[in-house]
């Protein structure tokens, strides 16, 4: 058990502290940080998907008025480390994927840089590329582990025997598409080396973690941490795509080193982001469920096939949620990868859980249908007493309560096996469960100082639009026992104490734990009447960490879908989610996280799809004109609720993390609602009308 902080400021819907700056446009993002006389970069990208650059003629580019430098693999500086092939920019003539960085132009304006980049003439020795994912490739391999350090495969009991013996089985293949993160603010950096040229590097970078960002840059350039400062007070969205730096950061730092003393800016264009900023791998999920007539599961299996790049492995942990979600004596999960000539996949909101709760949660709906059991009741019948994966008791698990409260609020009672017709529209409802692990990172330190009658909390945390500026003072105020109005936060700078990445929905859990520890140190040392200048620090690793319980947040997603009987057009007028996420620190910013996640889940269900053209080896629809993301007109009502959940095991705030769970399960609930409306089961995302029309009644 953890000693919980008494909530006073926590739980209040305080307004965003950074709201005014954002509305007024005075919040400075990475490329609009005021600097003297900035120069601008534009990258040169490979136009083949595999092979070698044999020559680059930069004469015409250098002749453009205003061009300051052109760097290519043939003349760029050698980096200290090329261990991470994604970061090894301009270090070799090899092309590993179409769109890879092969050069950069630095110029007085971004327009000149872009014009000159177009004038770089590149010769290639191309080779046949291989970019097609399929489940029957003969070169699929098992990675050593999958993302976040999970085991690649797990097995318990005999799934095949259970399938053979079961009264009812479901055995289907489900697919999620390739998706690209599209935060409003593109990936962007301003870099400045001091005039000595090899001394000190300042980076204003749009990142989910200034300290991890700095560590990666130091590794690549062979610098000590004291030689680099990363500053990032505001981020215009990240969703994981800024959770690790990408090659653009290294390219900007390299470009700036060519012009010591001069700040150099690079903001990726929307199109460039589709090559360089990571993406969610497409997944192919073979799911098996076996159950008795009462719906009690005897087998759950998921065998996942997905892709990675040849130059760097990223293995999405898609099978992970099936390991713990429901009780079943036999279980199997596997992950197999195809290494392709494609850009490097990476994190996108709820890696693992988001795609991995699509197949299994649609399969549960199929099982419910086969058994003629209500899909909520089916889930309730398969509630595990303890975590099926580890055997540990839950720190708290209120999935059933989320399902019941959601059913009540949504108006589920009396729902029959089929929806109804409303004029030309077929109307149905669907449900799916959601889950996300409660994580806390191992490293983070906070400092609290008393100065001029106010408390100042310093930690290198990030606010991606999530609310950290606002909620970290709420945590500090309660831990100190003072009014939140008397607490200031300083975040987003490596000059502040080290902080972990804003990833895995772990930011608040981690930074908050360090802040509570610092507050306890502060009070222990200085009492309640501190002298001016009193200062104390706390580390997350000093904070109590429960190892005896399985800690997860849970939720239930409800969807109403309307499908046009003649055209197959799908509309979702209503999304409703109920979540059990421990203590909610700020209902206003939390609600934004939930409804944002649910909206992104709807987007995944109906619209988003990176259509990969395997002939040329790139995403064909690589802009927001053709990569469709939901907008306000696409969704009417999005309602998010949460239980008043108390969890004494997770951390001193009792918080479970809320950034990602909102996207988990949404797409399955949409597919289940579309099925209820039409009788058509769409197992491959997105749910577009071409998949519905041939089968509509
Ligand atoms: Mo989130 S995908 O863990 O940044």
Q: Which residues fall within 8 angstroms of residue 297, CB to CB, at 6 or more apart? A: 289, 290, 291, 326, 327, 328, 382
Atom of ligand 1 nearest to the CA of 351: 2
Atom of ligand 1 nearest to the CA of 240: 4
In order of 132, 178, 655, the CA distances from 611 in angstroms are 12, 7, 38
Adjacent-strand bridge partners of 122: 56
Q: What share of the chain is helix, strand, coil (3-state, %, to 5)?
A: 25, 25, 45
Atom of ligand 1 nearest to the CA of 660: 1
CA 382–ligand 1 middle distance (angstroms): 29
Distance CA 629, CA 449 (A): 44
Atom of ligand 1 nearest to the CA of 242: 4
Position 198 confidence tier, pLDDT thresholds 50, 70, 90: low
Token pair, residue 261, equals 């003393």
Give the closest residue to 376 by CA, choosing from 384, 386, 389, 367.
367
- Ligand 1 pocket test, candidate residues 279, 439, 503, 600, most atoms within 8 A of CB: 503
In order of 280, 309, 319, 358, 566, the CA distances from 670 in angstroms are 20, 31, 20, 10, 19
- Ligand 1 pocket test, candidate residues 318, 351, 465, 553, most atoms within 8 A of CB: 351
Q: Supply angle C-alpha 281, 287, 288, rounded to 5.
A: 165
CA 149–ligand 1 middle distance (angstroms): 15
Q: What is the pLDDT of residue 1?
A: 72
pLDDT above 90: residue 543:
no
H or E element in which residue 638 lies: strand 635-642
Token pair, residue 665, equals 């399960």
Q: Which whole number is the average pLDDT over 477-487? A: 98
pLDDT above 70: residue 477:
yes
Tens of pLDDT, residues 362-379:
999 999 999 999 999 999
Token pair, residue 383, equals 């509630």
Distance CA 248, CA 180 (A): 16
> Which percentage of the chain shows pLDDT scores above 70?
100
Q: Which residues fall within 8 angstroms of residue 438, CB to CB, at 6 or more apart? A: 395, 505, 509, 551, 552, 553, 582, 650, 656, 657
Distance CA 656, CA 486 (A): 26
Q: What is the pLDDT of residue 575?
A: 98
Q: Which residues fall within 8 angstroms of residue 103, CB to CB, at 6 or more apart? A: 43, 44, 56, 58, 70, 71, 72, 73, 90, 117, 120, 122
Distance CA 688, CA 665 (A): 18
- Ligand 1 pocket test, candidate residues 240, 320, 597, most atoms within 8 A of CB: 240
CA 659–ligand 1 middle distance (angstroms): 8
CA 434–ligand 1 middle distance (angstroms): 16
Common-topology check for domains 19-28+441-539 and 147-179+280-439+548-695? yes
Pick the CATH number of 147-179+280-439+548-695 from 3.40.190.10, 3.30.365.10, 3.40.50.720, 3.30.9.10: 3.30.365.10
Q: What is the pLDDT of residue 697?
A: 83
Distance CA 562, CA 673 (A): 8
Tens of pLDDT, residues 495-525:
999 999 999 999 999 999 999 999 999 999 9
Token pair, residue 620, equals 């064909």
Q: Which whole number is the average pLDDT over 541-561? A: 95
Token pair, residue 2, equals 């953890």
Q: What is the 3-state secondary structure (H, E, C) of 217-275?
A: HHHHHCCCHHHEEEECCCCCCCCCCCCCCCHHHHHHHHHHHCCCCCCEEEECCHHHHHH
Q: What is the pLDDT of residue 2?
A: 82
Return the exposure string of 142-164: e unless at least 16 CB atoms fall within 10 Å of the residue's CB, then b: ebeebbeebebeeeeeebeebbe
Does residue 163 have a cis peptide bond before it, meaning omega lies within 30 degrees of 0? no
Tens of pLDDT, residues 72-104:
999 999 999 999 999 999 999 999 999 999 999
Q: Supply angle C-alpha 398, 402, 403, rounded to 5.
A: 120
Q: Where are the domains of the chain?
A: 19-28+441-539, 33-127+182-276, 147-179+280-439+548-695
Q: Which whole number is the average pLDDT over 409-416? A: 97
Q: Which whole number is the average pLDDT over 279-298? A: 98
Q: Which whole number is the average pLDDT over 286-292? A: 98
Give the closest residue to 174 by CA, choosing from 282, 280, 283, 285.
285
Nearest CA to ligand 1 atom 4: 240
Q: What is the pLDDT of residue 596?
A: 97
Residues belonging to the active site: 660
Q: What is the pLDDT of residue 197?
A: 59
- Ligand 1 pocket test, candidate residues 318, 438, 504, most atoms within 8 A of CB: 504
Q: Which whole number is the average pLDDT over 186-207? A: 92
CA 461–ligand 1 middle distance (angstroms): 14
Average pLDDT, the chain: 97
CATH architecture group of domain 33-127+182-276: 2-Layer Sandwich (3.30)
Distance CA 219, CA 87 (A): 10
Distance CA 596, CA 505 (A): 14
Q: What is the pLDDT of residue 195?
A: 84
CA 428–ligand 1 middle distance (angstroms): 32
Tens of pLDDT, residues 8-52:
999 999 999 999 999 999 999 999 999 999 999 999 999 999 999
Atom of ligand 1 nearest to the CA of 349: 2
Three-class SS state of 322:
helix
> Which percentage of the chain shows pLDDT scores above 90?
97
CATH topology of domain 19-28+441-539: Aldehyde Oxidoreductase; domain 4 (3.30.365)
Number of H helices, E strands in the chain: 16, 27
Position 544 confidence tier, pLDDT thresholds 50, 70, 90: confident
pLDDT above 90: residue 185:
yes
Sign of the four-CA dihedral 240, 241, 247, 250: negative
Q: What is the pLDDT of residue 14?
A: 98
Q: What is the 3-state secondary structure (H, E, C) of 473-504?
A: HHHHHHHHCCCHHHEEEECCECCCCCCCCCCC
What residue has token string 């590329």? 129
Three-class SS state of 535:
strand
Tens of pLDDT, residues 131-181:
999 999 999 999 999 999 999 999 999 999 999 999 999 999 999 999 999
pLDDT above 80: residue 336:
yes
203 close to 194: Cβ distance less than 8 angstroms: no
- Rounded to 5 degrees, φ, ψ at 690 are -65, -25
Q: How many residues does the chain have?
A: 697
CA 657–ligand 1 middle distance (angstroms): 11
Q: What is the pLDDT of residue 127?
A: 98
375 close to 403: Cβ distance less than 8 angstroms: no
CA 176–ligand 1 middle distance (angstroms): 18
H or E element in which residue 406 lies: helix 399-410
Question: Residues with beta carbon inside 6 Å of ligand 1?
Answer: 208, 239-240, 243, 347-349, 351, 503-504, 660
Return the exposure string of 22-34: e unless at least 16 CB atoms fall within 10 Å of the residue's CB, then b: eeeeeebbbbebe
Relative orientation angle of helices 210-221 and 247-257, to the nearest 10 degrees: 60
Q: Which residues fall within 8 angstroms of residue 120, CB to CB, at 6 or more apart? A: 44, 56, 57, 58, 60, 61, 70, 72, 103, 105
Atom of ligand 1 nearest to the CA of 506: 3
């Amino acid at each position: 058990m953890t000693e919980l902080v008494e909530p006073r400021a926590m739980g209040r819907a305080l307004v965003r502290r950074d709201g005014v700056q954002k509305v007024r446009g005075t919040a400075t993002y990475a490329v609009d940080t005021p600097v003297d006389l900035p120069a601008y970069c534009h990258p040169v990208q490979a136009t083949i998907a595999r092979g070698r650059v044999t020559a680059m003629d930069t004469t015409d580019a250098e002749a453009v008025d205003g061009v300051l430098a052109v760097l290519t693999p043939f003349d760029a500086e050698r980096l200290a480390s090329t261990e991470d092939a994604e970061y090894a920019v301009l270090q070799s003539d090899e092309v590993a994927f179409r769109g890879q960085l092969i050069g950069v132009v630095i110029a007085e304006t971004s327009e000149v840089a872009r014009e000159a980049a177009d004038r770089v003439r590149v010769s290639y020795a191309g080779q046949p590329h291989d970019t097609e994912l399929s489940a029957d490739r003969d070169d699929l391999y098992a990675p050593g582990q999958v993302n976040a350090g999970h085991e690649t495969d797990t097995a318990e009991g005999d799934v095949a025997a259970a399938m053979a013996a079961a009264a009812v089985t479901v055995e289907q293949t489900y697919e999620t598409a390739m998706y690209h993160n599209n935060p409003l603010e593109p990936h962007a950096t301003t870099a400045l080396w001091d005039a000595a040229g090899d001394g000190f590097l300042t980076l204003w970078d749009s990142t989910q973690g200034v300290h991890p960002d700095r560590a990666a840059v130091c590794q690549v350039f062979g610098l000590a941490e004291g030689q680099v400062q990363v500053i990032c007070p505001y981020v215009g969205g990240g969703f994981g795509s800024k959770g690790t730096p990408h090659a653009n950061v290294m390219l900007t730092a390299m470009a700036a080193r060519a012009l010591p003393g001069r700040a150099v800016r690079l903001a990726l264009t929307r199109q460039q982001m589709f090559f360089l900023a990571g993406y969610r791998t497409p997944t192919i999920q073979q799911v098996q469920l076996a159950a008795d007539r009462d719906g009690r599961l005897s087998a759950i299996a998921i065998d996942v096939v997905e892709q990675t790049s040849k130059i760097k492995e990223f293995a999405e942990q898609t099978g992970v949620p099936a390991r713990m979600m429901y009780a079943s004596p036999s279980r199997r999960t596997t992950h197999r990868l195809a290494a392709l000539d494609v850009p490097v996949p990476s994190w996108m909101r709820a890696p693992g859980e988001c795609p991995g709760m699509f197949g299994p949660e649609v399969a549960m709906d199929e099982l419910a249908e086969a058994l003629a059991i209500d899909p909520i009741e089916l889930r309730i019948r398969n509630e595990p007493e303890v975590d099926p994966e580890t055997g540990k008791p839950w720190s708290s698990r209120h999935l059933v309560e989320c399902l019941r409260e959601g059913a009540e609020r949504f108006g589920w009672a009396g729902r029959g096996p089929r929806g109804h017709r409303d004029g030309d529209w077929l109307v149905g409802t669907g449900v799916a469960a959601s889950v996300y692990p409660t994580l806390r990172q191992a490293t983070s330190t906070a400092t609290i100082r008393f100065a001029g009658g106010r408390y100042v909390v310093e930690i290198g945390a990030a606010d991606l639009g999530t609310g950290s500026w606002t909620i970290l003072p709420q945590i500090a105020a309660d831990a100190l026992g003072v009014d939140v109005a008397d607490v200031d936060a300083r975040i987003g700078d490596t000059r502040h104490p080290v902080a972990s990445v804003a990833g895995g929905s772990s930011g608040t859990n981690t930074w908050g734990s360090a802040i509570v520890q610092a507050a306890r140190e502060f009070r222990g040392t200085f009492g309640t009447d501190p002298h001016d200048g009193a200062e104390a620090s706390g580390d997350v690793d000093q904070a109590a960490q429960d190892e005896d319980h399985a800690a997860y947040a849970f939720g239930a997603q409800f969807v109403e879908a309307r499908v046009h009987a003649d055209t197959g057009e799908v509309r979702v007028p209503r999304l409703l989610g109920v979540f059990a996420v421990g203590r909610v620190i700020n209902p206003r910013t939390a609600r934004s996280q939930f409804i944002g996640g649910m909206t992104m889940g709807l987007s995944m269900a109906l619209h988003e799809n990176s259509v990969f053209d395997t002939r040329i080896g790139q995403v064909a629809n690589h802009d927001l004109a053709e990569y469709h993301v939901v907008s306000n007109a696409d969704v009417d009502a999005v309602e998010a609720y949460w239980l008043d959940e108390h969890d004494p095991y997770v951390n001193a705030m009792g918080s479970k993390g809320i950034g990602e769970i909102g996207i988990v399960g949404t797409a399955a609930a949409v597919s289940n609602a579309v099925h209820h409306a039409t009788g058509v089961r769409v197992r491959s995302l997105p749910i577009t009308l071409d998949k519905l029309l041939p089968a509509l009644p």
